[in-house]
């Protein structure tokens, strides 16, 4: 699993090779990594933030998809259409503006249509986390396949695939996704696929560089000599042994994807109103920055906190997996 | 050194990538639903009018034929350039077609909008480098001390904040609340003083333009500043733990000299890489920054083009972005050699 694990086991892996050896490696590496993370306060802080927002995302996803906001409207307020509120652009508790005084009924205030901002933030978490996560999974899968095949086979296959990847990388991320979504659809699912495709190059290049070095390892040659097929070698040896830096990149990439999705929603691509999403809330708040600046503050803080969580955890993971860089 | 040969080889390698960019852009643009003709002529054009427009822009031909034609059009035709001598054609004979929405050549529209975005990018990256390089160096030098912690937190928050949100907050604070800086209507530093309010000379124009630039620069540059700080710090730390630094220390070389000569110089390689790669990726960020500050640059041009299904303009701008990126990568690679003599051009060493 991790580079640390293989290093600790040293030379004997070359004589045994094979799958059993790898399991031991993985376990030692995994345990080491976990203990490293557990003793790193910043990584733990990151993990706490990620867990917090993921939990909110799961609750809001269940309520949105399965219960049709039954939870929200029974125990709280409906995030899309709240019949009880008529006061628009209320400030948060303890503040007042030309529209009135902040109340505990709406701790963070209300938006331009009188909807509770906290509730909309809560239900907007679903969009950020699911799209960030799914887009990264798509990019990771695509990038792993492309990078592994290119790195393992080399020669013209490598050339063709990597030129294709470079091509994709050369078009600015946001422009590529916007063009993709304009062509195929503005809904959230296309944002996932679009951001996923746009992040394929990042993973493909990373995986390829790892595969090129793993390919030359003794155990891969041993497996080849033992008659294991190429696909088997790639799946069982090459990819698992290239995975540590990819895991770090994936964690950081979720943060990047959340930022991109927020930017897309800000421009009107992604979750469509009235479905709440953080970027869309920011875009709506633009028209009310003067009378009610708080409306613009909260969604940005939510994005910031979530992405900080993924960055903290990614950094911690990198330190744990690569002990050479000790901060 | 094989610098010339290396440059030529890198340029040749770029050709398939550029053709790839053109291909992706062409077919992606073609997949955009809707009919550009109806946008030009209104909801119910007569069949004759529509057919005429289609013929004019070549939209009546099959997809593959249009693709081949487009490839031919965008390829530089040097003969044209030479034949128009002494007038130098700055587009080098590249024909990106006519914008359907603006009804002018795409190259003209790009030439019109490009300086705005270049100004924005240059000022953002200047700000980012000026702030990030010292911050990263100091952070590495005072590792795990309060200064380091502050700079690391700043960098972490910087890479995690949406640039357009920074823009919104800056507008709220500095334009609305304090009323010290303007939020919209960017004025170019080379604008005619007569057309600029409150400006008599070109010096006044520079001042006004500088004031307008501050907020967009901070908005677009913060992310870059944070990213560069992180890279500068870790590269410096890595170099400071190298054997030659330890050796220099053992010889009693002054810490300042070590920092400047042995650690700082090689630490700039990853910084150059990230600046080279991010400069074009920042064009994506410029889309958002230009939207927030209502700046009419390349970013808003491409968004407008997509909204209006202006096929030639979408393709032209995207291809232009891609071309800039490919050139940027090549320039980055070549500039490596000047900074780090250890970099070979892949001919001598394997």
Tens digits of residue pLDDT in B110-125: 888 888 998 999 999 9
- Residue of B164, B171, B314 with shortest CB distance to A263: B164
Label the pairing between strands A100-101 and A96-97: antiparallel
Mean pLDDT throughout A135-140? Answer: 94
The answer, as to whether pTM is greater than 0.90, is no
Q: Does residue B337 surpass a pLDDT of 70?
A: no
Query: Would you state the pLDDT for residue B169?
Result: 94
Cis-peptide into B233, omega within 30 deg: no
**B235: nearest CA in chain A?**
A325
Angle at B317 between CA B80 and CA A170, to 5 degrees: 105
CA-based torsion, A80, A85, A89, A94: positive or negative: negative
Cross-chain CB nearest to B168 (options A164, A174, A296): A296
* C-alpha triplet B38, B108, B194: angle, nearest 5°: 110
| Residue A2 reports pLDDT greater than 70 | no
A286 at interface of B, judged by CB pairs closer than 8 A: yes
Range A55-83 average pLDDT: 81
Contact B58, B281 (CB under 8 A): no
Q: What's the pLDDT at A302?
A: 94
Query: DSSP characters for A73-130?
Result: HHHS--SS--TT----SPPPTT-EETTEE--TTSTT-B-TTS-BHHHHHHHHHHHHHH
Residue B166 CB neighbours (<10 A):
22
pLDDT band at A259; cut points 50, 70, 90: very high
**Are B156 and A308 an interchain contact pair (Cβ–Cβ within 8 Å)?**
yes
ipTM: 0.83
Work out the number of other CB atoms within 10 angstroms of the CB of residue B181. Answer: 16
Higher pLDDT, A170 or B336: A170
Mean pLDDT of chain B: 80
- My answer on whether omega of the bond before A10 falls inside 30° of 0, hence cis, is no
Task: Name the percent of chain A lying above pLDDT 90.
Answer: 26
CB contact under 8 A, B31 and A184: yes
Note whether B141 and B237 are within 8 A (CB): no
**A272: which DSSP letter?**
P
- Of residues A240 and A51, the one with the higher pLDDT is A51
Q: Do B159 and A311 touch (CB under 8 A)?
A: yes
Q: Quote the pLDDT of residue B92.
A: 52
pLDDT of amino acid B171:
93
Q: Could you tell me which of A179, A154, A169 has the C-alpha nearest to residue B329?
A: A169
Using a CB-CB cut-off of 8 Å, the residues of chain A touching B156 are 308, 311-312
Per-residue confidence at A13, pLDDT binned at 50, 70, 90? very low
CB atoms within 10 A of CB B72: 10
Helix, strand or coil for residue B307? Answer: helix
């Amino acid at each position: 699993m991790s580079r640390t694990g293989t290093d600790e086991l040293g030379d004997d892996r070359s004589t045994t090779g094979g799958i059993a050896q790898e399991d031991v490696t993985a376990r030692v590496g995994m345990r080491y990594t976990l203990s490293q993370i557990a003793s790193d306060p910043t990584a733990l802080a990151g993990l706490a933030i990620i867990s917090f927002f993921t939990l909110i995302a799961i609750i809001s996803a269940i309520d949105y998809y399965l219960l049709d906001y039954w939870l929200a409207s029974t125990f709280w307020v409906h995030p899309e259409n709240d019949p009880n509120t008529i006061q628009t652009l209320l400030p948060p508790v303890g503040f007042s503006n030309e529209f009135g005084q902040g109340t505990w009924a709406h701790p963070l205030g209300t938006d331009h249509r009188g909807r509770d901002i906290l509730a909309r933030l809560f239900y907007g978490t679903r969009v950020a986390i699911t799209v960030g996560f799914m887009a990264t999974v798509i990019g990771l899968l695509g990038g792993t396949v492309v990078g592994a095949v290119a790195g393992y086979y080399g020669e013209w296959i490598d050339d063709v695939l990597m030129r294709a990847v470079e091509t994709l990388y050369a078009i600015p991320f946001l422009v590529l996704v916007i063009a993709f979504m304009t062509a195929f659809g503005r809904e959230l699912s296309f944002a996932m696929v679009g951001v996923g495709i746009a992040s394929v190059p990042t993973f493909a290049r990373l995986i390829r560089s790892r595969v090129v070095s793993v390919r030359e390892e003794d155990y891969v040659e041993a497996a080849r000599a033992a008659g294991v097929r190429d696909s088997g070698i790639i799946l069982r040896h090459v990819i698992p042994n290239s995975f540590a830096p990819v895991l770090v990149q994936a964690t950081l990439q979720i943060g990047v994807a959340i930022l991109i999705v927020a930017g897309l929603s800000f421009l009107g691509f992604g979750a469509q109103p009235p479905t709440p999403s953080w970027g869309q809330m920011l875009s709506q708040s633009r028209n009310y920055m003067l009378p009610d600046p708080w409306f613009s503050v909260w969604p940005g803080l939510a994005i910031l906190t979530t992405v900080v969580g993924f960055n903290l955890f990614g950094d911690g993971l990198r330190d744990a997996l690569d002990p050479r860089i000790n901060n | 050194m094989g610098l010339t040969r290396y440059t030529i080889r890198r340029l040749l390698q770029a050709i398939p990538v550029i053709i790839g960019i053109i291909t992706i852009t062409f077919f992606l643009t073609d997949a955009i639903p809707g009919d550009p003709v109806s946008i030009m002529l209104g909801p119910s054009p007569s069949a004759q009018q529509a057919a005429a427009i289609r013929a004019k822009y070549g939209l009546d031909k099959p997809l593959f034929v249009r693709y081949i034609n487009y490839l031919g059009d965008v390829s530089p035709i040097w003969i044209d350039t030479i034949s128009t001598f002494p007038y130098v054609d700055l587009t080098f004979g590249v024909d990106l077609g006519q914008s359907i929405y603006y009804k002018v050549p795409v190259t003209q529209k790009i030439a019109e909008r490009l300086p705005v975005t270049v100004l924005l990018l240059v000022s953002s990256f200047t700000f980012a480098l000026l702030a990030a390089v010292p911050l990263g160096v100091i952070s590495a030098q005072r590792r795990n001390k309060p200064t380091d912690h502050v700079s690391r937190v700043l960098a972490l928050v910087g890479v995690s904040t949406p640039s357009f949100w920074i823009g919104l907050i800056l507008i709220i604070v500095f334009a609305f609340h304090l009323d010290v800086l303007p939020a919209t209507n960017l004025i170019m530093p080379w604008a005619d003083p007569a057309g600029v309010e409150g400006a008599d000379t070109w010096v006044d124009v520079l001042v006004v333009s500088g004031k307008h630039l501050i907020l967009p620069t901070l908005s677009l540059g913060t992310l870059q500043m944070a990213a560069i700080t992180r890279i500068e710090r870790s590269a410096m730390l890595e170099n400071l733990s190298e054997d030659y630094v330890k050796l220099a220390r053992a010889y009693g070389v002054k810490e300042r000299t070590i920092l400047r000569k042995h650690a700082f110089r090689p630490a700039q390689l990853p910084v150059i890489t990230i600046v080279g790669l991010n400069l074009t990726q920042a064009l994506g960020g410029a889309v958002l920054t230009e939207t927030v500050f209502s700046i009419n640059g390349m970013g808003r041009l491409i968004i407008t083009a997509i909204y209006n299904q202006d096929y030639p303009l979408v393709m032209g701008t995207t291809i232009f972005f891609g071309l800039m990126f490919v050139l940027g990568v090549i320039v980055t690679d070549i500039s490596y050699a000047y900074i780090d003599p250890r970099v070979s051009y892949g001919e001598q060493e394997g």
